[in-house]
């Protein structure tokens, strides 16, 4: 089924693009969430204006994302946790805890944007990547200290 994307869909395309997808995917996901419309002749005329608006919006989002990445670059988060004598944490510090700490510092980062291979389970300094927007990644420092 051919659909015209209205919004960006990861691994599928950007607004204004016509893509061929499975009918079930279109009917059950793309159309109800208003991410796409069926590619009719009238919709194809609308595609040109959608592409232009999407490019303008993308430029603005990229500028905002670069500014956010610049602020994140200077950021360092500090966590205190209970650990054994070898420096292993009894719990772990994951995406949810990092997102909450970022929110306290006035950064609205969703936990899906935080790229961790596994939870942090050792004391020390760790580098964590954050997917700011699309391909824009930034690395922050997370320090884990033992509770006194």
pLDDT single digits (tens) 75-101:
899 999 998 898 899 888 999 999 999
Q: By CB neighbour count within 10 A (0-12 exposed, 13-18 middle, 19+ buried), where does 30 fall?
A: buried
Torsion on CA atoms 27, 28, 30, 33, rounded to nearest 10: 120
Structure-block tokens of residue 135: 């391909």
Assigned domain for 39 exists: yes
Assigned domain for 22 exists: yes
| Alpha-carbon gap, residue 54 to 135, rounded angstroms | 17
The answer to whether 97 touches 109, Cβ cutoff 8 Å, is no
The answer to whether 132 touches 68, Cβ cutoff 8 Å, is yes
Mean pLDDT for 32-48 is 86
* H or E segment and range at residue 20: strand 18-20
Average pLDDT, the chain: 89
Confidence class for position 50, pLDDT limits 50, 70, 90: confident
Q: Model confidence over 4-22: pLDDT tens digits?
A: 888 888 889 888 888 999 9
Assigned domain for 67 exists: no
Q: By CB neighbour count within 10 A (0-12 exposed, 13-18 middle, 19+ buried), where does 82 fall?
A: exposed
pLDDT attached to residue 24:
95
Examine the fold and report which residue of 61, 86, 103 is the final residue of a domain before the chain moves on: 61
- The domain tally of the chain equals 2
* H or E segment and range at residue 145: strand 136-146
Assigned domain for 70 exists: no
Residue 98's nearest CA partner among 88, 86, 89, 107 is: 107
Same domain, 92 and 127: yes
Same domain, 83 and 52: no
The answer to whether 60 touches 28, Cβ cutoff 8 Å, is no
Q: Tell me: pLDDT of 55 over 90.
A: no
Assigned domain for 33 exists: yes
Q: 140: which strand partners?
A: 128
Same domain, 38 and 79: no
**Residue that wins the pLDDT comparison between 135 and 35:** 35
Where in the sequence is the domain holding 127, given as residue range(s)? 75-146
Q: What are phi and psi of 110, to 5 degrees?
A: -75, 150
Examine the fold and report which residue of 61, 86, 105 is the final residue of a domain before the chain moves on: 61
pTM of the full predicted structure?
A: 0.67
Mean pLDDT for 101-128 is 91
């Amino acid at each position: 089924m051919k659909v015209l994307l209205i919004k960006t869909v990861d691994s599928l395309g950007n607004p204004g693009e016509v893509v061929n997808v499975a009918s079930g995917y279109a009917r059950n996901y793309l159309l109800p969430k208003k991410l796409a419309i069926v590619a009719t002749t009238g919709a194809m005329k609308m595609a040109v204006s959608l592409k232009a608006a999407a490019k303008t919006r993308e430029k603005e989002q990229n500028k905002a994302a670069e500014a956010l990445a610049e602020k994140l670059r200077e950021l360092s988060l500090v966590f205190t946790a209970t650990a054994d004598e070898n420096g292993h944490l009894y719990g772990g510090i994951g995406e949810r805890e990092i997102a909450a700490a970022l929110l306290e510092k006035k950064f609205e980062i969703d936990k899906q944007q935080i790229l961790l291979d596994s939870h942090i389970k050792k004391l020390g300094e760790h580098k964590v990547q954050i997917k700011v927007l699309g391909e824009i990644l930034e690395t922050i420092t997370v320090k884990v200290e033992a509770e006194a």
